[in-house]
Structure 1
Amino acid sequence: MSKNKGARIIITLECCCKNLMNTNKRRKGLFRYTSTKNRKNTPGRIELMKFCPACNQHEKFKEIK
């Protein structure tokens, strides 16, 4: 039998720019990343700067449920 992963969970990160109407967008719609985090070390929702191909620049991505 394999061990349980414990406190690590899979999270989804979504771009914060989804509601902005910008004329230089390459694609319409949302962009999401998946990642893991340790529930004990970071109990709150995290925000990371990642590249958004819809906006063609680095944007802030927030954790969603």
Structure 2
Amino acid sequence: MAQKKIALACSACGSRNYTIGANPNRTERLEVKKFCKFCGEHTLHRETR
């Protein structure tokens, strides 16, 4: 069975740069500082649904 994928979107420009596997036990949206290649800096990326 394939795992459901969720995208991480940059909070500054809105581009969806990263994908992660969905976790049904997580109740809040994941927020991680990652590098955005469009902004050129480390920004906060939030889980989209």
- TM-score scaled by structure 2? 0.75
Q: Point out the structure with the larger helix share.
A: 1
Match of 1:39 in 2: 24
**Unaligned regions of 5+ residues in structure 1, if any?**
20-29
Structure with the largest fraction of strand: 2
Q: Structure 2 counterpart of 1:52, which letter?
A: C
**TM-score if structure 1 supplies the norm length?**
0.60
RMSD: 2.0
Extract unaligned runs of 5+ from structure 2.
Answer: none
- Kept in 2, the 8 Å contact 1:13–1:64? The answer is yes
